[in-house]
Structure 1
Amino acid sequence: MALLPFFQSLKRMLLLQPLLLPLLAAPLLSAASADRAASMATPIPELSPYIAAAARSAQVPVYLDAAHSERIASLSAGEEYPVLSFESGQGKLQLLGGKTGYVDLAAVTVRPLKRYVLGWNAFGDRVTFLAQNRVSADLNAVSPRWFFLDSDKAPLTSAPDAAYVAASHRQGQEVWPLFGNRFDSDLTNAFLRSAEQRKQAVSTIRSALLQTKADGINVDFENIQPDNKALFVAFIGELASALHPYGMKVTVDVTRTNPDPYWSGSLDREALGKVADFLILMGYDEHYEGAPTAGSTSSLPWIREGVRLLLKEVPAQKVILGVPFYTRDWSTSAAGSVVSEYLSAKDAAALVSRLGLGRTWDAGAEQNKVRYTASGVVHQIWLEDTASMKRRTALIPQYALRGSAAWYMGEETPDLWPAFAKLVPAKPLASAPAYADLTGHWARDSVLALAQRRVIAGTGAGRFEPERSVTRAEFAALLSRLYLGGSPLASGAAGRFRDVPIGSWYAGSAALLSGLGVLSGYPGGTFRPEAAITREEMAAMISRLMDRTAVLPPLSSGRQDALLQPFADGGTLAWSRQAVARALDLGIVKGRTADFFSASSFTTRAEAAVMLERLQGWLEAQPGYELAYPG
């Protein structure tokens, strides 16, 4: 590794002041830095961050507000909730029942969670399904219908497809095959009451999932007899016990709460939420086939209230919102009788275009609606279009939900998919880019690994420029991308730094990392985004992020001395001493040479890549890490 000129390091050391805040001043770079920063800011899409906090110990207090005016709850060790925002060393949590509360970040660990955009494959063959699943880069989970209860082939039919799973994995999609009950309450009753049939079903499903390398199961039991409520929970628990040791997920479809004892009352949502990984709220069929009145398949007020009802019983990070890719064409006869016909979203759009129908806004449903007359019969359709879908997917960050699930693939119009953007981590590139100036370079493998993960990019013209220094804005962006699997939203991001313009490409990263306590600033509330970052500043940020992520044992003074003793400049470390020692201890950061750490030297792009790849390995080894993609 090439050393920076000695006079530059000396100048740097002479400028140090002992009482400055931990992140120290650095010379401003040229205007070209802005262009370089911009190029580093665009390799992956923006992402709405999804982070959860878990109590480090028992009886962690949760307060009504940031001022701690009232203690409203206590968290047990490991109890986890989504973080809505970070402020003043605290996290605002989304609790049960729509309540929120504040917790000190020092009392919790935090981890990024993976949101899901799932699509069900309902009708077709493998070729059809795989074509459907290529429609959007945001689709990161799919569910083909593999298993069904069957009275003739008790307890179930099974149609696993290893080739489908392999192809889906190559597209960065998890596979959660569906297990359905055919809506047959008697068949379901017989199955749930037979311990032997349940055991056989669990064994068959586990074997099929292991054989095909699938990632979990989606249980779609509907129209269950009310007295089967506890048995259904027991069965889901049996599935979870069988699949969790293999890292596979158990997801359960649940209807929106309603008065029907079979379609709703038979579901113990709170208990299911404790044994399953996710509950998928089927946010449709408000007005169903045979309904006495015409109306929307899923009006926004109806599903919004459905989300609120479910969140009274199930933590938000376990709830996935089901959305319809279909609607119904309602016809009302002259006598006033109402009937409806299923209509896919794409067929509805084609009908609107063919007939030249004008949309009208239904303020009550918060959807567009069309009306036409055919053969003397009045027809009405509440449309599932971009206006509707954007409002549905907006509920996901609003209520800190885990993602969306679309029923079903192939029924949508292409313009619906942008509504799902910015929800899921970016998928890796199919292959790493090539950089001519990395041939034979010691950091080549790390750079290419991060480039393929879309964390870092080149500087243009097929070059990486590994010896260039990294600005504070650039490193904040790199660190947050690595941590989240995407660039945190910049639009509207307002942090504590007065020199970070709202909407700038690094604003989301600066706001996130400062909120987590990973990034500090300078006196006067500035960030100095174009200043080069030093090696000790980089080590401090990495160390703080690790400390936020896991319960790490304290480093004794003796251990710190032992870690820093080999370096001639180890004794000069002051504010960064413990953080640098921690990063050294965990093998993330190393000296620039065997006997010189070069704390005040600027970090190069090569060094940043190598240390961030080591951090990636450490993060992946932590319990509960889930941002890795299959395949």
Structure 2
Amino acid sequence: MYIRRSLAKLVAIVSIATLMTLILNEDENVQAEAVAAQGKFNMSYMFFGSPSSYVSQVDKSGQTLDVVSPGYFHLNSDGSLQMDKISSSFINEMHKRGKKVVPFLSNDFDEQVGEKAIDNREAVVKQLVEAIKSNNLDGINMDIENVDATYRDKYTDMVKMLRNQLPSAKEVSVAVASNPTGTTKGWVAAYDYKGLAAVSDYLMLMAYDESYPGDTTPGPVASLPFVEKSIRYALTQVSPDKLVLGVPFYGRYWNQDPVSNGAGLSLQTVNKLIQTYKGTTRYDMASESPVATFTINPADTETKINGKKLALGTYTVWYENEQSLKAKLKLVGKYDLKGTGSWSLNQETADTWDYYSLWADGFYFADMQKHWAKGDVLAAANRGWMLGTASDRFAPDAALTRAEAATIMVRALGLSGEVASINAAGFKDVSAVHWARQDIMIAKQHGLIQGISDDRFAPDQVMTREQISALLSRVLKLQPSGLTAAKFSDVPAGSWSAKAIAAMSSNGLVDGFADGTFRPRASLTRAEMATLLSRVAPRLTK
């Protein structure tokens, strides 16, 4: 458990005060929304579903996404800009949630239209800049695909024009095709990774469509080897902080009808088909991809995809699930990439957001996926303030120990390492190899926390609510205000912690429970500590 803060930035008394501006309430029905820490960047395209559902689509992802990219911009047959209806209410709602709206410009994979737009780039760029500014949009994501490689320099010039004409605060990003072999031929070669990165905020690497519509051989949408090779090549051209890994929220199916080879299916639809037709699944370890098969018989329920009835027969589906997506998300940390992008929102399964940001940020806490404090724990972990008890466990419901509390206080005040040669002889129960030995002694030296006796610290003893209140009220030199001090039925006026609890309560730092109790001897859990840290983060970072 770590907290890193510069003492120069945190004056001791002020820092402690802000550190403990919290509501110590253990009621599981009270789940404060986490203040997102600066983790890995995450964006997602928006293409499917009614625009009226866009807000709810985003809300399902919680605090995960930084940028949403709706398909507001397309191209006419002559290469001029075509704009869909831009929703000001959606933009406003996203801004209220702290998310940017960066629409993408698509040529819908039409080669001639894309090339005409690039040839006509001065006019298209002018239209885009005007639309972005007049609609309070946050930038543009360029997604022109399937143009000839001879347009490579012209396309880079188009992006450069956008960057030069838009304010620096407006995002300019580019979706680029994967190029795992570094080929210089075909439409994949139309992307000058190095040149585009120099004139944009980041490249969104479309590390999918390894198998594609019309592909006669069933195979993965994005095998792990394909994705990793694509990343490695890209990093020979651009720095990791300029590269966003694109991940698919869809699969592809094959059956006896060659017209349907490689047709796309949302992950939601895949799961529904497997369930409806009692399909079988296996996990292909070589590609790190799941594969499903099912058969539609004459007596079975009819299913339509995009208005088209699925034919009778046996289907093979390559798709993504939790295991395969986690394997891809781990690559973000492995290569220290800027973050992730996804195609596309509203195709993922509901449980995707239980783990997405944890794995993308490099914290593989399986016990946090559905925990009420997931956001707070992720925020604390991203700031380096709290780590897990193991590589895959955070132990959110374990009680916070005195050793952990000492470490947190020391790190919060930037006192770590100031006393490298402290003698721990004062505490017989803190050995020379105890993990928190130095922090405990630094905390004692600075009067943050003392032992339970002259020679015992009790490092594994839990911190109770009244102990936290007493410690903080003493450090903050708080006095209770009779007008606002809460009266708790289980805190007698003569108890040793009553004054401290009253002081903390009257200063708005702690609260009790709905039944009028404070539960002074109840322990503080690690999840609650993370929530505490999340709540005070805006004040700590001012």
Q: TM-score range by the shorter chain?
A: 0.5 to 0.7
Question: Does structure 2 conserve the Cα–Cα contact (< 8 Å) formed by 1:280 and 1:321?
Answer: yes
| 1:277 maps to which of 187, 196, 201 | 201
Paired amino acid for 1:388 = S
Query: Which residue number in structure 2 is paired with residue 232 of structure 1?
Result: 155
Unmatched 5+ residue regions in structure 2?
Answer: 1-9, 11-19, 298-311, 362-374, 392-399, 423-436, 449-473, 479-503, 510-532
**How far 1:233 moved relative to its partner?**
0.8
Query: Which residue number in structure 2 is paired with residue 126 of structure 1?
Result: 51
Residue 305 (str. 1) matches residue 241 (str. 2):
no
Aligned CA distance change for structure 1 residues 203 and 321 (closer, same or farther; 3 Å): same
Secondary structure of 2:440's match? coil
Query: Which residue number in structure 2 is paired with residue 624 of structure 1?
Result: none
Query: Which residue number in structure 2 is paired with residue 117 of structure 1?
Result: 42
Aligned CA distance change for structure 1 residues 121 and 505 (closer, same or farther; 3 Å): farther
Question: Does structure 1 conserve the Cα–Cα contact (< 8 Å) formed by 2:204 and 2:341?
Answer: yes
Secondary structure of 1:359's match? strand
Aligned CA distance change for structure 1 residues 325 and 165 (closer, same or farther; 3 Å): same
Residue 396 (str. 1) matches residue 319 (str. 2):
no
Residue 368 (str. 1) matches residue 280 (str. 2):
no
Query: Which residue number in structure 1 is paired with residue 490 of structure 2?
Result: none
Aligned CA distance change for structure 1 residues 523 and 392 (closer, same or farther; 3 Å): same
Query: Which residue number in structure 2 is paired with residue 180 of structure 1?
Result: 106
| 1:242 maps to which of 155, 162, 165 | 165
Question: Does structure 2 conserve the Cα–Cα contact (< 8 Å) formed by 1:373 and 1:379?
Answer: yes
Cα distance in structure 1, aligned partners of 2:441 and 2:104 = 48
Query: Which residue number in structure 1 is paired with residue 491 of structure 2?
Result: none
Aligned CA distance change for structure 1 residues 510 and 326 (closer, same or farther; 3 Å): farther
Aligned CA distance change for structure 1 residues 409 and 288 (closer, same or farther; 3 Å): same
Secondary structure of 2:280's match? coil
Query: Which residue number in structure 2 is paired with residue 526 of structure 1?
Result: 438
Cα distance in structure 1, aligned partners of 2:345 and 2:356 = 14
Aligned CA distance change for structure 1 residues 37 and 125 (closer, same or farther; 3 Å): closer
Give CA-to-partner distance per residue, 1:110-160, whole Å, 9 cap, x none. xxx6532222111344312222111121123100111122235x5211233
Question: Does structure 1 conserve the Cα–Cα contact (< 8 Å) formed by 2:278 and 2:294?
Answer: no
Question: Does structure 2 conserve the Cα–Cα contact (< 8 Å) formed by 1:326 and 1:343?
Answer: yes
Question: Does structure 2 conserve the Cα–Cα contact (< 8 Å) formed by 1:490 and 1:506?
Answer: no
Question: Does structure 1 conserve the Cα–Cα contact (< 8 Å) formed by 2:274 and 2:294?
Answer: no
Aligned CA distance change for structure 1 residues 531 and 175 (closer, same or farther; 3 Å): same
Question: Does structure 1 conserve the Cα–Cα contact (< 8 Å) formed by 2:419 and 2:442?
Answer: no
**How far 1:297 moved relative to its partner?**
0.7
Query: Which residue number in structure 1 is paired with residue 240 of structure 2?
Result: 316
Question: Does structure 2 conserve the Cα–Cα contact (< 8 Å) formed by 1:368 and 1:383?
Answer: yes
Question: Does structure 1 conserve the Cα–Cα contact (< 8 Å) formed by 2:214 and 2:259?
Answer: no
**How far 1:337 moved relative to its partner?**
11
Correspondence list, 1:164-203, <5 A: 164-193=90-119, 197-203=120-126
Aligned CA distance change for structure 1 residues 501 and 162 (closer, same or farther; 3 Å): same
Aligned CA distance change for structure 1 residues 216 and 415 (closer, same or farther; 3 Å): same
**How far 1:506 moved relative to its partner?**
8.7
Query: Which residue number in structure 2 is paired with residue 207 of structure 1?
Result: 130
Residue 358 (str. 1) matches residue 358 (str. 2):
no
**How far 1:411 moved relative to its partner?**
1.4
TM-score between the two structures when normalised by the length of structure 1: 0.54
Q: Which has the higher contact order (CA 8 A, sep 6+)?
A: 2
Query: Which residue number in structure 2 is paired with residue 471 of structure 1?
Result: none
Query: Which residue number in structure 2 is paired with residue 62 of structure 1?
Result: none
Query: Which residue number in structure 2 is paired with residue 380 of structure 1?
Result: 316
Query: Which residue number in structure 2 is paired with residue 145 of structure 1?
Result: 71
Cα distance in structure 2, aligned partners of 1:513 and 1:267 = 48
Identity over aligned residues, as a percent?
A: 23
Query: Which residue number in structure 2 is paired with residue 289 of structure 1?
Result: 213
Question: Does structure 2 conserve the Cα–Cα contact (< 8 Å) formed by 1:491 and 1:503?
Answer: no
TM-score between the two structures when normalised by the length of structure 2: 0.62
CA RMSD of aligned residues (A): 4.5
**How far 1:383 moved relative to its partner?**
3.0
Paired amino acid for 2:216 = P
Secondary structure of 2:541's match? helix
**How far 1:36 moved relative to its partner?**
9.6
Cα distance in structure 2, aligned partners of 1:332 and 1:505 = 63
Aligned CA distance change for structure 1 residues 120 and 504 (closer, same or farther; 3 Å): farther
**How far 1:175 moved relative to its partner?**
0.8
> Which segment drifts farther, 374-383 or 203-212?
374-383
Secondary structure of 2:166's match? helix
Cα distance in structure 2, aligned partners of 1:337 and 1:211 = 43
**How far 1:487 moved relative to its partner?**
5.1
Aligned CA distance change for structure 1 residues 274 and 421 (closer, same or farther; 3 Å): same
Give CA-to-partner distance per residue, 1:502-527, whole Å, 9 cap, x none. 9968979988998xx97645535510
Give CA-to-partner distance per residue, 1:222-248, whole Å, 9 cap, x none. 012111111111111111112243x11
Question: Does structure 1 conserve the Cα–Cα contact (< 8 Å) formed by 2:410 and 2:443?
Answer: no
Residue 339 (str. 1) matches residue 261 (str. 2):
yes
Unmatched 5+ residue regions in structure 1?
Answer: 1-22, 24-32, 50-112, 426-453, 456-476, 494-499, 538-599, 618-631
| 1:251 maps to which of 173, 187, 195 | 173
